[in-house]
Copies of this chain bind each other. A is one copy, B any other.
Amino acid sequence: MSLTVVGSIAYDAVKTPFGERERMLGGAATHFALAASFFDEVRVVGPVGDDFDPESWETLRTRGTVTDDVEHVPGGKTFFWKGEYDANVNSRETLVTDLNVFETFQPKLSEASTRSEVLFLANIQPELQLQVREACTGARWVAMDSMDLWINIAHEALLRVIRTVDCLILNDEELEMLTGRPTLAQAAQEILSWGPSAVVAKQGKYGAVLVTEDGFFALPAYPLQHVVDPTGAGDTFAGGFVGFVAAHRNEEPVSDDLLRRAMAYGTALASYNVEEFGTERVARLTADEVHARVEDLARMTSFNAEPAALRM
C-alpha cells in the first residue's frame, strides 16, 4: 500500500513574534508528507525549480517518502511564499506569493502513484484536483483540502471534485462559506449529501471536528505554552489524519472509529509542527513523542457522564 499526495512544494519566508526565517522548506505537500510518513510510504507529486537544494530533497525524503514524481522544472524557480503573523499568531498577512513553477503545474503521475490506494488532494486548483482524482484509478479512499479563493472563483469546479472524494477537510468558516449555511452542523450535513462520507472542520487553535453519518466527533487542539509558527499546521494535521487512514483501512467504508483515531494522530502531529518554524520540529519527531500527545489528548477529553440527580 502507499499514499499519494499532490500539492505545493515551496520555500517560505515567515516572520512571527518569536523569530523569522528568510527561506525555509514549506508547501502543503511537504508538510503533509512529513506527517503522513509516520504511517505509510508517501509519494509526493509537485513541481520544484532549479533552486531546490539537496537539504530540501533530503527533508522531503524523511521516513522514506518517495520523490520520484516530484517534477524538477529546468530554468524554473520553486513556489515562494512570504507572510507575517500578528502578535497572538492567530492571523497572518501574505506579503509575497510567487507561484513560479506552480503557475503552469500539470501533475504528471507515474503508474506507481496512480495505483496508491489512498490519495490526498492538497489545496490546488479544483480543475487539477479533478484531473488527478480521475488519473488515480487505484485510489479507494480520497481526501481533499481547498481554500476560500477556490470557493469564490471556481465554485462549480470545486463542487465537482468534492462529489468524487470520500473526505473533505476545510476550515470551519470555509465550510460555512462553501454551503451558505450558518452552522457547522448544517454545512457538514449538506456536504455529506453531495457524496463525501466524512467532513473535517479545522478550527485552528480550537481543534477540529469530524462529521460522518454516525455523528460528530470533536477534538481540541493540543494546548501549547508557545506557538512559534503555525505555517503548515493544517497540512500536518491532514498528513497525520490521512496517513493513519492509509495505514489502517481494511474495511470499506472506513469506520467512524478509525477516523476518530486518525483525528487524534493528526492533532498530535499538528501540535508539534507549530512549536518550531516550518518543518524543523516534525522532521526530527519520534514515534514516542507522537504517542505521548495522543494519550494526553485522550486524558484531556474524558469525563464521567454518569447521570446526576437533577431537581425539577
Contact = CB atoms under 8 A, between A and B. Distances in A.
Interface in A205-243: 205-207, 209, 215-220, 223-227
Contact of A298 (B203, B244, B291, B303): B303
Given A217-B300, A263-B303, A303-B298, A308 B247 contact: yes
A185 B207 CA distance: 14
Tell which of A205, A224, A301 has the most Cβ of chain B within 10 Å: A301
A311 B63 contact: yes
A218 to B, nearest CB: 3
Indicate how many identical chains form the complex: 2
A265 interface: yes
B295 A310 contact: no
Given A38-B310, A223-B216, A182 B89 contact: yes
Interface string A280-305: 00000011001100110111111111
Tell which of A39, A189, A220, A286 has the most Cβ of chain B within 10 Å: A220
A106 interface: no
B298 A17 contact: no
A58 to B, nearest CB: 16
A149 interface: no
B183 A225 contact: yes
B227 A182 contact: yes
Tell which of A40, A247, A303 has the most Cβ of chain B within 10 Å: A303
A257 interface: yes
A301 to B, nearest CB: 5
Interface string A232-264: 000000000000100110000000010011011
Nearest to A38: B310
11 contacts: A17-B182, A183-B226, A185-B224, A189-B225, A216-B223, A218-B300, A219-B303, A261-B305, A264-B305, A287-B310, A301-B302
Interface of A: 17, 37-40, 63-64, 87-89, 176, 182-186, 189, 203, 205-207, 209, 215-220, 223-227, 244, 247-248, 257, 260-261, 263-265, 286-287, 290-291, 294-295, 297-312
